[in-house]
Amino acid sequence: MIVKTDTINSRLENWLNTHQPDKVVVVTSESSFKLCLPKLSIHKKLDNVVYRLPDGDDAKTIEFCQDFWSVMMRNDANRKSVIIAVGGGAVLDFSGFCASVFMRGLACIYVPTTLLSMVDGSEGGKTGINFYGTKNIIGTFSEPNLVLRNIEFLTTLTKNEIFSGWAEILKHGILEGGEIFKQIQGGIKPFSDEDYWINLIRLNIEFKKSITSADFKEKGQRKLLNLGHTFGHGLEALFFEDPNITHGKAVANGIYWETLLALELGFTNEENLRIVENLIFPLYPKIGWNKFQVEEIGNLLMHDKKNENGWIHFTFSKQIGAAEYNIEVAKQRILHFLDKHAEDVESIEDIL
Ligand code: GLY
């Protein structure tokens, strides 16, 4: 459901009045605690427990889960309690996971506060935390009881957060090839154009729902949503120490590099690559690698949980509105691609 500040509170109150939970536990991030929670009336109820997480993926650890569950137990949370997650994707993933396993499942309401979590993380029921250096490796498929997307929270976002959300919207547009694709042609519009954003977010949720409702547990067509993410996660991991390489920039570049790979393997044509480039590069900087990083990025691509026995599984865009998943490419072929497109660097000293 897409709402504004004046309706989000009444929707929350309605749900709480109908379900009468005996305890409300609010989970939020430092940023959402400061910027978004004050706009919600649940904030003013003094008997609600508020659990604050650090911003971003630092929250998605087993240590924070243990700490959170111990707070739940100290506050006598039980099966009639509800968790309200107010934050971006990390808060939703964490809260959804903790709620889905505590006492075998508590009610959970998502209030996504970022563009990325409104169009992606809040839909489709994936929950999870990172473990042993691998993203989302521990998790469940569990849908929230209610999702309230308040578009007025979008004005609290940084440029990087907007670009992260936009990368997923680009992905949906390229896969869908219909109304979303049409709507994204003009680039990122100002958030003051509320009707545009309400419509665009609605289209994105409907598109994602059309895929996840047919394949909730990602046995088949949900893999389409991995477009750009195999390469994107590899780039993100390669540059994990560089705060400028955000998830959005990595995924947008991932879509480009995967489409170039698809072209070289004969899965798509030059025209499709040009359309993809024109959507991405006016907005995002190009992220590449040098020849000293080829082996490392190759290994990082292999680490993805979707890969097996020296083969990397890709989703490729064939043309706008048509993609194919489960395309296996041998690691050796990827290394050749990585080597061919590595930026020229004379010596290792040049990059240090
Ligand atoms: N973000 C991809 C999915 O939910 O499957």
Q: Calculate Rg over the CA atoms of the chain.
A: 21
Give the position, in ligand 1's atom list, of the atom nearest the Cα of 168. 1
Q: From the CA of 45, how far away is ligand 1's center (Å)?
A: 34
pLDDT confidence of residue 305: 60
**Residue 245, both tokens:** 């390489």
Tokens 């992260």, located at residue: 164
Task: Return the axis-axis angle of helices 247-264 and 229-238, rounded to nearest 10°.
Answer: 130
pLDDT confidence of residue 1: 83
| Per-domain boundaries in the chain | 2-157, 194-343
Instruction: Judge contact between 79 and 25, C-beta under 8 A.
Output: no
Q: From the CA of 226, how far away is ligand 1's center (Å)?
A: 7
Q: Is the CB of 225 under 6 A from ligand 1?
A: yes
pLDDT confidence of residue 350: 55
Closest CA to 116 of 65, 62, 153: 153
Q: From the CA of 211, how far away is ligand 1's center (Å)?
A: 10
Q: Is the CB of 139 under 6 A from ligand 1?
A: no
If pLDDT is split at 50, 70 and 90, which confidence band does 347 have? low
Phi, psi of 2 (to 5 degrees): -105, 125
Phi, psi of 341 (to 5 degrees): -100, 10
Residues with Cβ within 8 Å of residue 59, at least 6 apart in sequence? 29, 53, 90, 91, 94
Q: From the CA of 168, how far away is ligand 1's center (Å)?
A: 10
- Give Cα 339 distance to the centre of its chain: 29
Instruction: Judge contact between 256 and 277, C-beta under 8 A.
Output: yes
Q: Is the CB of 233 under 6 A from ligand 1?
A: no
> Any idea how long the chain is?
352
Q: From the CA of 324, how far away is ligand 1's center (Å)?
A: 16
**In what helix (H) or strand (E) does residue 70 lie, and over which residues does it extend?**
helix 62-74
pLDDT digits (tens, 9 = 90+) for 148-204: 999 999 999 999 999 999 999 999 999 999 999 999 999 999 999 999 999 999 999
Closest CA to 293 of 259, 244, 332, 338: 338
Q: Is the CB of 247 under 6 A from ligand 1?
A: no
The strand pair at 146-147 and 107-112 is best described as: parallel
What CATH architecture applies to the domain 2-157? 3-Layer(aba) Sandwich (3.40)
C-alpha pair distances (Å), 62 with each of 67, 94, 131, 209: 9, 10, 7, 29
* Top-tier CATH class for 194-343: mainly alpha
Q: Is the CB of 128 under 6 A from ligand 1?
A: no
Q: From the CA of 225, how far away is ligand 1's center (Å)?
A: 6
The strand pair at 82-87 and 107-112 is best described as: parallel
Cα angle for residues 320, 304, 250 (degrees, 5° grid):
55
Mean pLDDT, rounded, of the chain: 93
Q: From the CA of 73, how far away is ligand 1's center (Å)?
A: 31
Cα angle for residues 197, 171, 86 (degrees, 5° grid):
55
pLDDT digits (tens, 9 = 90+) for 61-91: 999 999 999 999 999 999 999 999 999 999 9
Write the residue with the smallest CA distance to atom 4 of ligand 1.
Answer: 124
C-alpha pair distances (Å), 348 with each of 39, 290, 293, 299, 337: 51, 9, 10, 19, 20
pLDDT over 70 at 209, yes or no: yes
Q: From the CA of 347, how far away is ligand 1's center (Å)?
A: 39
Ligand 1: which of 116, 122, 126 to mutate, most ligand atoms within 8 Å of CB?
A: 126
Q: Is the CB of 120 under 6 A from ligand 1?
A: yes
The strand pair at 134-138 and 129-131 is best described as: antiparallel
| Mean pLDDT on 207-225 | 97
If pLDDT is split at 50, 70 and 90, which confidence band does 345 have? low
Phi, psi of 290 (to 5 degrees): -110, 175
Q: Is the CB of 135 under 6 A from ligand 1?
A: no
Instruction: Judge contact between 255 and 170, C-beta under 8 A.
Output: yes
Name the 3-class secondary structure at 308. Answer: strand
Give the position, in ligand 1's atom list, of the atom nearest the Cα of 218. 5
Residues with Cβ within 8 Å of residue 8, at least 6 apart in sequence? 39, 40, 111, 148, 150
Write the residue with the smallest CA distance to atom 2 of ligand 1.
Answer: 225
